[in-house]
Every structure is written in C-alpha cells, then in structure tokens.
C-alpha cells in the first residue's frame, strides 16, 4: 500500500521525469483519493482500459500515453472523448499517472532497453540522440550477425507480428540501434553510432528515403509492440517497492 504522493514522488525521482523536454504531461494527471493498493498498467489510456480498471477494482492506472498532450486542440476543455475518460476516472475515484519519454529512456526498464534485451543484443549502451539532454536510445550487437532476411523473420516471430522491414543498405546486420515508438527520424544518430539497422516502432514515409540514402536498414515492429514492455516492467517494479497488486492490461493495437 502507498499514498498517491509516495508513488508520484518515487516515480519522479526514479524516472527523472522532470528532466525530459516532452510534449505531454508526465506524472500525476488525474488525482483520486485514498491509498493505492491495486494498480493496472497499459500502453495507452482509453475508455476500454478505464472500464477494465474498474472491473479489476484498481485504485490507480499508470500508462505510457496519457490524456494531456500539447497537440490537443483544446487542452483545457474536458469535452468529448477526453471528458468521458476523466468522468469515468473521477466517478470511480481512480488515479491516473502517465510517463512518456522518461519511460522510453530509462536505463533499467525503459522501452528501448527492454526491446534491446528481448532481441538478445549484447554489449548494450545508452546513446545520445538529438534533442535529448541525456542518453536515450540503445545500441547493441547481435550475438551472431544475421542477414536482413533472417533478422526480419526472427523479429516477426519474436513480436508475433508482421513488421515493416526494408533492406535499404543490404548489409549483414550486426549492430542495432533501438528507438521505441516513432524512431525512424533518428537515422543521423544511428549513423553516428555505426549501426547497421534501426529497430523502431513506426515510420514516416519521408524517413524511409533518408534512411535509404544514408545506408541503413530498418525494421518497424509497430508502435504498440515497441512500447508495451516498459510500462509492464514499471508496474512490476512498483509492486515490489510498495507491496501492491499490479496487472498489465494488454490491449493489442496493430499500428
């Protein structure tokens, strides 16, 4: 059991949340009342997630993609989808936390490092990327070099998906640059690291041409697939830290 303030303060320190320039609210987004005994975690907030949290009798929900973003047309208006979600949380006295970039970059349970470990990469190191004040992406080596075709097949099987893979350089894959979410635009950073391939979640159309021109391969497993491990691990961390019940809610998304 823990108070809302205890969890908020712990995650602020553990994730260094305030140190990240982000385009959303990181931390406590909707405050309930009382102590927290049971939490659910998920990649993205949604009405389906909130109703599931209600059936699980959760006191708090922790997500990677929360409610409040700078791109929201009217960020101070609790109307439409946003209003319904907030009402559901308030009616059931459920607290909502969200951590975006701080969760991608965490060196122990961040999305990037969790992806790299799941791929079996060795000699992992955090590397800087443009726009971030601290190391963010992860660079690692495959235990044995693979052809692009073999890496593609391996990754599809590992993540149970049909990813987007492009052999834009045609080289054998040995060194992999891992950037969860929408990471194709970080090809200059991958180049500086000497990577053979960018492993990410999703791509912009224009990024693929640039990646081709700088001589890199790319594999995109889907945005959701690339960002569900970190939040699950964060829930498990809090369960141990505060003796809470924690459950990851998997709401698959093909994108």
User: What are the residue boundaries of the structural domains of the chain, listed by start?
Assistant: 4-103, 106-225
pLDDT value of position 132: 86
pLDDT value of position 70: 84
What is the H or E stretch that residue 70 is in?
none
Q: What is the value of pTM for the model shown?
A: 0.95
| Stronger pLDDT, 237 or 70, i.e. the higher one | 237
pLDDT per residue as tens digits for the range 34-71: 999 999 999 999 999 999 999 999 999 999 999 999 88
Architecture of domain 106-225: 3-Layer(aba) Sandwich (3.40)
Same fold yes or no, 4-103 and 106-225? yes
pLDDT value of position 242: 97
pLDDT per residue as tens digits for the range 124-174: 999 999 988 889 999 999 999 999 999 999 999 999 999 999 998 877 999
Architecture of domain 4-103: 3-Layer(aba) Sandwich (3.40)
Distance between the two ends of the chain, CA-based, in angstroms? 36
pLDDT value of position 243: 97
Tell me the H-state helices in 40-195: 47-55, 80-91, 101-105, 111-118, 148-159, 187-192
Q: Return the structure tokens found at 159.
A: 């993540």
Reply yes or no on whether the pLDDT at 236 is more than 80. Answer: yes
Beta strands in the chain (DSSP E): 27-30, 38-44, 60-65, 95-98, 122-127, 137-146, 164-166, 173-179, 197-200, 217-220, 245-248
In percent, how much of the chain has pLDDT > 90?
89
pLDDT value of position 133: 81
pLDDT per residue as tens digits for the range 187-219: 999 999 999 999 999 999 999 999 999 999 999
| pLDDT, the chain, mean | 95
């Amino acid at each position: 059991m823990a108070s809302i303030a205890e969890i908020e303060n712990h995650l602020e320190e553990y994730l260094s949340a305030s140190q990240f320039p982000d385009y959303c609210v990181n931390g406590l987004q909707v405050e309930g009342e009382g102590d927290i005994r049971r939490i659910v975690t998920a990649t993205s907030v949604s009405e389906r997630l909130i109703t599931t949290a209600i059936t699980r009798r959760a006191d708090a929900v922790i997500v990677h993609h929360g409610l409040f973003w700078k791109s929201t047309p009217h960020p101070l208006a609790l109307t439409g989808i946003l209003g319904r979600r907030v009402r559901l949380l308030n009616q059931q006295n459920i607290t909502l936390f969200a951590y975006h970039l701080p969760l991608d970059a965490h060196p122990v349970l961040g999305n990037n490092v969790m992806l790299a470990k799941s791929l079996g990469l060795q000699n992992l190191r955090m590397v800087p990327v443009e726009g971030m004040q601290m190391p963010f992406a992860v660079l690692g080596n495959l235990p044995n070099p693979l052809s692009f075709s073999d890496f593609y097949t391996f990754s599809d099987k590992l993540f149970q998906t049909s990813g987007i893979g492009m052999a834009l350089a045609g080289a054998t894959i040995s060194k992999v640059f891992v950037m969860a979410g929408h990471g194709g635009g970080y090809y200059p950073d991958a180049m500086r690291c000497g990577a053979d391939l960018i492993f990410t979640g999703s791509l912009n159309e224009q990024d693929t041409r640039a990646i081709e021109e700088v001589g890199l391969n790319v594999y995109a497993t889907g945005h959701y697939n690339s960002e569900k491990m970190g939040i699950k691990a964060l829930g498990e961390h809090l369960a141990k830290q505060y003796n809470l019940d924690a459950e990851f809610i998997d709401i698959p998304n093909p994108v």
